[in-house]
Amino acid sequence: MADKALSRLYAVHWRGIRAYLNSRLGNPAMADDLAQETFLRMVEGGAGNMIVNGRAWLYRTAHNLAVDHHRQEARRRTDALDGEQLAAIADDSPRQDDVAAARDALDQLRHTLEELPERTQQVFVAVRIDGLTYAQAAKRLGISDSSVQKHLARAVHHVMRHARPL
Protein backbone atom coordinates (compact mmCIF):
# COMPACT_ATOMS: atom_id res chain seq x y z
CA MET A 1 0.00 0.00 0.00
CA ALA A 2 1.34 3.41 -0.85
CA ASP A 3 2.77 5.39 2.05
CA LYS A 4 0.38 8.31 1.51
CA ALA A 5 -2.69 6.07 1.43
CA LEU A 6 -1.57 4.28 4.61
CA SER A 7 -0.82 7.57 6.37
CA ARG A 8 -4.25 8.83 5.40
CA LEU A 9 -5.96 5.65 6.69
CA TYR A 10 -3.98 5.92 9.92
CA ALA A 11 -4.86 9.58 10.43
CA VAL A 12 -8.54 9.02 9.69
CA HIS A 13 -9.16 5.72 11.51
CA TRP A 14 -6.61 5.45 14.36
CA ARG A 15 -8.89 6.94 17.03
CA GLY A 16 -11.92 5.00 15.86
CA ILE A 17 -10.04 1.68 15.80
CA ARG A 18 -8.57 2.38 19.23
CA ALA A 19 -11.98 3.37 20.65
CA TYR A 20 -13.57 0.25 19.13
CA LEU A 21 -10.89 -1.98 20.67
CA ASN A 22 -11.13 -0.23 24.03
CA SER A 23 -14.89 -0.79 24.08
CA ARG A 24 -14.35 -4.50 23.31
CA LEU A 25 -11.48 -5.00 25.77
CA GLY A 26 -12.01 -2.44 28.52
CA ASN A 27 -8.25 -1.97 28.64
CA PRO A 28 -6.83 1.20 27.04
CA ALA A 29 -3.23 -0.06 27.00
CA MET A 30 -4.23 -3.30 25.26
CA ALA A 31 -6.45 -1.32 22.88
CA ASP A 32 -3.40 0.78 21.92
CA ASP A 33 -1.32 -2.35 21.35
CA LEU A 34 -3.94 -4.04 19.22
CA ALA A 35 -4.67 -0.89 17.23
CA GLN A 36 -0.98 -0.66 16.44
CA GLU A 37 -0.99 -4.38 15.52
CA THR A 38 -3.96 -3.74 13.21
CA PHE A 39 -2.06 -1.14 11.19
CA LEU A 40 1.14 -3.16 11.33
CA ARG A 41 -0.66 -6.10 9.75
CA MET A 42 -1.86 -3.88 6.96
CA VAL A 43 1.71 -2.73 6.27
CA GLU A 44 3.27 -6.20 6.56
CA GLY A 45 0.39 -8.09 4.98
CA GLY A 46 1.48 -7.36 1.46
CA ALA A 47 -2.17 -7.35 0.48
CA GLY A 48 -2.24 -3.56 0.48
CA ASN A 49 -3.01 -3.28 -3.20
CA MET A 50 -5.75 -5.90 -2.96
CA ILE A 51 -7.66 -4.14 -0.14
CA VAL A 52 -10.70 -2.47 -1.66
CA ASN A 53 -12.20 -0.96 1.50
CA GLY A 54 -9.42 0.01 3.94
CA ARG A 55 -11.79 1.02 6.72
CA ALA A 56 -13.66 -2.31 6.62
CA TRP A 57 -10.39 -4.24 6.52
CA LEU A 58 -9.06 -2.34 9.55
CA TYR A 59 -12.18 -2.91 11.65
CA ARG A 60 -12.37 -6.59 10.69
CA THR A 61 -8.69 -7.06 11.60
CA ALA A 62 -9.18 -5.18 14.89
CA HIS A 63 -12.22 -7.34 15.66
CA ASN A 64 -10.26 -10.54 14.96
CA LEU A 65 -7.38 -9.37 17.15
CA ALA A 66 -9.81 -8.60 20.00
CA VAL A 67 -11.41 -12.06 19.68
CA ASP A 68 -7.97 -13.70 19.69
CA HIS A 69 -7.02 -11.68 22.75
CA HIS A 70 -10.17 -12.78 24.63
CA ARG A 71 -9.46 -16.42 23.76
CA GLN A 72 -5.89 -16.18 25.01
CA GLU A 73 -7.02 -14.53 28.23
CA ALA A 74 -9.63 -17.24 28.79
CA ARG A 75 -6.96 -19.93 28.40
CA ARG A 76 -4.66 -18.16 30.87
CA ARG A 77 -7.28 -17.34 33.46
CA THR A 78 -7.35 -19.32 36.64
CA ASP A 79 -9.78 -18.08 39.21
CA ALA A 80 -8.54 -18.17 42.78
CA LEU A 81 -10.70 -19.78 45.42
CA ASP A 82 -10.91 -18.47 48.94
CA GLY A 83 -10.30 -20.73 51.94
CA GLU A 84 -14.00 -21.38 52.50
CA GLN A 85 -14.49 -22.54 48.90
CA LEU A 86 -11.43 -24.75 49.12
CA ALA A 87 -12.69 -26.30 52.36
CA ALA A 88 -16.02 -27.10 50.68
CA ILE A 89 -14.32 -29.32 48.09
CA ALA A 90 -14.87 -32.93 49.06
CA ASP A 91 -11.78 -34.98 49.83
CA ASP A 92 -12.11 -38.07 47.68
CA SER A 93 -9.01 -39.79 49.00
CA PRO A 94 -9.71 -42.98 50.93
CA ARG A 95 -9.58 -42.95 54.71
CA GLN A 96 -6.52 -44.47 56.35
CA ASP A 97 -8.49 -47.34 57.86
CA ASP A 98 -9.98 -48.16 54.42
CA VAL A 99 -6.48 -48.21 52.91
CA ALA A 100 -5.24 -50.47 55.70
CA ALA A 101 -8.23 -52.82 55.27
CA ALA A 102 -7.66 -53.01 51.52
CA ARG A 103 -3.98 -53.83 52.03
CA ASP A 104 -4.90 -56.55 54.51
CA ALA A 105 -7.39 -58.02 52.02
CA LEU A 106 -4.77 -58.00 49.26
CA ASP A 107 -2.22 -59.63 51.54
CA GLN A 108 -4.77 -62.32 52.46
CA LEU A 109 -5.56 -62.92 48.77
CA ARG A 110 -1.85 -63.11 47.93
CA HIS A 111 -1.22 -65.67 50.70
CA THR A 112 -4.28 -67.69 49.70
CA LEU A 113 -3.14 -67.78 46.05
CA GLU A 114 0.38 -68.82 47.10
CA GLU A 115 -1.16 -72.01 48.52
CA LEU A 116 -2.20 -73.03 44.98
CA PRO A 117 -0.02 -74.71 42.36
CA GLU A 118 1.94 -72.26 40.18
CA ARG A 119 -0.07 -72.96 37.00
CA THR A 120 -3.36 -72.32 38.84
CA GLN A 121 -1.94 -69.02 40.15
CA GLN A 122 -0.90 -68.03 36.61
CA VAL A 123 -4.38 -68.78 35.25
CA PHE A 124 -6.07 -66.81 38.03
CA VAL A 125 -3.81 -63.78 37.48
CA ALA A 126 -4.19 -63.93 33.68
CA VAL A 127 -8.00 -64.07 33.77
CA ARG A 128 -8.99 -62.20 36.96
CA ILE A 129 -6.19 -59.65 37.25
CA ASP A 130 -4.96 -59.09 33.68
CA GLY A 131 -8.49 -59.42 32.25
CA LEU A 132 -7.66 -61.96 29.53
CA THR A 133 -10.30 -64.16 28.00
CA TYR A 134 -10.01 -67.92 28.48
CA ALA A 135 -8.67 -68.27 24.93
CA GLN A 136 -6.09 -65.51 25.45
CA ALA A 137 -4.96 -67.00 28.76
CA ALA A 138 -4.73 -70.46 27.19
CA LYS A 139 -2.58 -69.10 24.37
CA ARG A 140 -0.33 -67.14 26.75
CA LEU A 141 0.17 -70.13 29.05
CA GLY A 142 0.31 -72.79 26.32
CA ILE A 143 -2.63 -74.81 27.63
CA SER A 144 -6.14 -75.62 26.42
CA ASP A 145 -9.24 -73.52 27.08
CA SER A 146 -10.69 -76.30 29.22
CA SER A 147 -7.52 -76.37 31.33
CA VAL A 148 -7.88 -72.64 31.90
CA GLN A 149 -11.47 -73.17 33.05
CA LYS A 150 -10.48 -76.01 35.41
CA HIS A 151 -7.56 -74.07 36.93
CA LEU A 152 -9.71 -70.97 37.32
CA ALA A 153 -12.53 -72.92 38.97
CA ARG A 154 -10.02 -74.48 41.40
CA ALA A 155 -8.51 -71.05 42.20
CA VAL A 156 -11.85 -69.32 42.71
CA HIS A 157 -13.13 -72.18 44.90
CA HIS A 158 -9.94 -72.03 47.02
CA VAL A 159 -10.08 -68.25 47.37
CA MET A 160 -13.76 -68.30 48.34
CA ARG A 161 -13.17 -71.03 50.93
CA HIS A 162 -10.40 -69.01 52.59
CA ALA A 163 -11.91 -65.53 52.25
CA ARG A 164 -12.72 -63.68 55.46
CA PRO A 165 -16.22 -62.31 55.73
CA LEU A 166 -16.37 -58.57 55.10
Is residue 47 predicted with pLDDT exceeding 70? no
Is residue 154 predicted with pLDDT exceeding 90? yes
DSSP string, 101-161: HHHHHHHHHHHHHHTS-HHHHHHHIIIIIS---HHHHHHHHT--HHHHHHHHHHHHHHHHH
Residue-range definition of the domain harbouring residue 10: 3-76
Backbone phi, psi, residue 82, to 5° = -80, 170
Query: Is 105 in the same domain as 158?
Result: yes
Is residue 144 predicted with pLDDT exceeding 80? yes
Question: How high is the mean pLDDT of the chain?
Answer: 85
DSSP string, 23-61: HHHS-HHHHHHHHHHHHHHHHHTS-GGG-S-HHHHHHHH
CATH number of the domain residue 132 falls in: 1.10.10.10
Q: pLDDT value at position 1?
A: 53
Q: Looking at the domain assignment, is residue 86 inside a domain? A: no
The dihedral through the CA atoms of 119, 124, 125, 127 has a sign that is positive
Q: Quick one: average pLDDT of 120-143?
A: 92
pTM over 0.75: no
Tell me: the pLDDT tens digits for 58-80? 899 999 999 999 888 888 776 67
Q: Looking at the domain assignment, is residue 126 inside a domain? A: yes
